[in-house]
Structure 1
Amino acid sequence: MTVSQSRDFGHVGPDHARAQTRLRIFDDDVPTHDLSQKVVRVGPGYRLFLAVPKGQPPAAGWPVIYMLDGNAAFDFLTADHLAQAAGLVVVGVGYDTERQFARELRTLDFTAPDGPGDGLRPDHVHDGRMAGGAGMFHDRLTGPLRAAAEAGLPIDPARRTLWGHSFGGLFTLYALLAHPAGFARHAAISPSIWWDEDLMRRIAAQADQASLPLLVALGDREKRSGSDGPPPDGPAPATMQFVADLARHPGHAAQIHVLPGHVHIQTLAGSFALAFPFALS
């Protein structure tokens, strides 16, 4: 496991529990990419946000990064960020909503099943929400959503990266461990391991031996939403220990970056300058 202290790449974000998307990137002059959106009527309905490089693709096709919570990811995305992703297709996988985050839907999609079958169950953290749909969402993500995103694009299937923040980061770790053939690289940003650390450790213990590139980034001022007290002074110990243990078993090549001064929402955009070069490497 490689640990580094990263420069301040982020900026303060809005209250992600209620924020509406503005998607200014679609009104900006973006020299490096062509931008578009499309809605895919599968499951609850998803919105895809696409940034496709201008110019000729490589012979093997473009590398691509899939970004969960695509509404929020593209709300924070700027032309300067995309300048660091020249030659990379950026796909935001969001929901058909005008909000940055669809809280109930992402809780269902991004949390792992606990046991055989579809694994759906009431969320033990958030009253009124359902959880455990990560297996079904992974099938959608690598099936109809991927097909819709890549339609007409020359994509290199060996250079697909999955990126997720918070619950999306939790899903990214689940995808790495439970479905390693889905993506070649994984970037888990501030993963919400606290949601069910025991379950994630069981999934890790049952995972096949593999060695896939894994990037983890988190802030040193993060705390759980709704928790009392000041922000902590240091990265989440449970996340640091989980990644350290993961590097030993089943042997995934992990690199971890601590983003100084970053609270939870800031690590979303704060990770872009790490994740885009990672997807291109």
Structure 2
Amino acid sequence: MQDTGRVGPEHARKAAELRIFDNPVPTHFLSQTVVNTGPGHRLFLAVPRGTPPKKGWPILYLLDGNAAFDFLTPDHLALVPDLMLAGIGYDTDRQFARERRTLDFTAPDGPGDGIRPDPVHPGRMAGGAAQFLERLTGPLRAAAESGVPVDPARRSLWGHSFGGLFTLYALLTQPNSFARFASISPSIWWDEGLIRRVADRAGQMAAPPPLLVALGDREKRSGSDGPPPDGPAPATMQFMADLRDRQGLSPQVHVLPGLVHIETIAGSLPLALPFAAA
């Protein structure tokens, strides 16, 4: 599925410079490779330089790996010298593969495989989250952890925007797929009714995993008119309250002052990295 880059916000067309790969990082060994697991993915790894614990490294999976590693800095990694990072990206030179992530990060709705036209973005397809979650926890996880001692009980998942929406989907449908979940600026607006139906089907959780949520107080939908809002997205805040009341989750909600949508990627890392390393 080709990403033409002709429409959308400026950051959606931006090339990934990946400057963190320009020089060695004191705390981690860095690598990147293309993984052919069906659709082409790029895998970005940061493996700690030290001696691994007996049970292996804790690992944080970052969706939109091209963008996540574009915002990642050596200072971020210095916060968590004993945490492995795996960026799951796409085989593109851009930060984002918009069509691919729309398909992969949105929940199915209806019979069959759930793939359908995106009701918000003409020309895109949606509803592939179940298939992507299977790919993420199967061949992509196997590729990321190949030859590296990883503690399977300390895997965490981070996602931003549509990736944050997928992170909530993964938590609600397969809460044992990761030990911890970090949902950053989740796109609740895309189909709020759908993600609420996913939550309703999950019901009350007996042992809900830890959930970190971060969002800016100046975020607005791409392409919407008017100035940025003054405060976090009400729909997201209400959804977090409902997850607490109806699913028994205890989300750690952080409002990042002054940050617009794209800025919450970097803004969330000082919170999400120690959260995953805990």
Q: TM-score interval w.r.t. the shorter chain?
A: over 0.9
Number of the residue aligned with 2:212? 215
SS of the residue 2:52 aligns to: coil
Deviation for aligned residue 1:253: 2.0
Which of 32, 37, 40 does residue 32 from structure 2 map onto? 37
Q: Distance in 2 between matches of 1:72 and 1:31?
A: 22
- Report the AA paired with residue 150 of structure 1: E
Deviation for aligned residue 1:43: 2.3
Q: Distance in 1 between matches of 2:271 and 2:23?
A: 23
Q: Distance in 2 between matches of 1:87 and 1:201?
A: 36
Say if 2:194 is the partner of 1:199: yes
Q: Distance in 2 between matches of 1:86 and 1:200?
A: 35
Which of 150, 172, 180 does residue 177 from structure 1 map onto? 172
Number of the residue aligned with 2:253? 256
1:53-92 correspondence to structure 2 within 5 Å: 53-92=48-87
1:32-181 correspondence to structure 2 within 5 Å: 32-181=27-176
Deviation for aligned residue 1:86: 0.9
Q: Distance in 2 between matches of 1:261 and 1:15?
A: 19
Deviation for aligned residue 1:229: 0.1
CA-to-aligned-CA distance 1:199-251 (integer Å, 9 cap, x gap)? 11111011152411000000000000000000000000000000010011211
Larger RCO (alpha carbons 8 Å, 6+ apart): 1
Deviation for aligned residue 1:147: 0.1
Q: 1:123·1:130 contact (CA, 8 Å) conserved in 2? A: yes
Q: 1:29·1:79 contact (CA, 8 Å) conserved in 2? A: no
Q: Distance in 2 between matches of 1:90 and 1:266?
A: 20
Deviation for aligned residue 1:85: 1.7
CA-to-aligned-CA distance 1:159-204 (integer Å, 9 cap, x gap)? 0000000000000000000111110100000000100101111110
CA-to-aligned-CA distance 1:119-175 (integer Å, 9 cap, x gap)? 000000000000000000000000000000000011000100000000000000000
SS of the residue 1:249 aligns to: helix
Q: 1:39·1:46 contact (CA, 8 Å) conserved in 2? A: yes
- Report the AA paired with residue 256 of structure 1: V
Q: 1:53·1:89 contact (CA, 8 Å) conserved in 2? A: yes
- Report the AA paired with residue 280 of structure 1: A
Deviation for aligned residue 1:49: 0.1
Q: Distance in 1 between matches of 2:157 and 2:172?
A: 13
Q: 1:28·1:79 contact (CA, 8 Å) conserved in 2? A: no
SS of the residue 1:143 aligns to: helix
1:264-275 correspondence to structure 2 within 5 Å: 264-275=261-272
Say if 2:3 is the partner of 1:16: no
Q: 2:175·2:208 contact (CA, 8 Å) conserved in 1? A: no
- The CA RMSD over aligned residues, in Å, is 1.0
CA-to-aligned-CA distance 1:21-76 (integer Å, 9 cap, x gap)? 11100012310000001211122210000000001001111000000000000011
Number of the residue aligned with 1:4? none
Q: 2:168·2:183 contact (CA, 8 Å) conserved in 1? A: yes
Q: Distance in 2 between matches of 1:29 and 1:121?
A: 44
Q: Is the deviation greater in 176-185 or in 130-139?
A: 176-185
Deviation for aligned residue 1:252: 1.4
- Report the AA paired with residue 41 of structure 2: Y
Q: Distance in 1 between matches of 2:112 and 2:62?
A: 27
SS of the residue 1:141 aligns to: helix
Q: Is the deviation greater in 25-34 or in 183-192?
A: 25-34
Deviation for aligned residue 1:263: 0.2
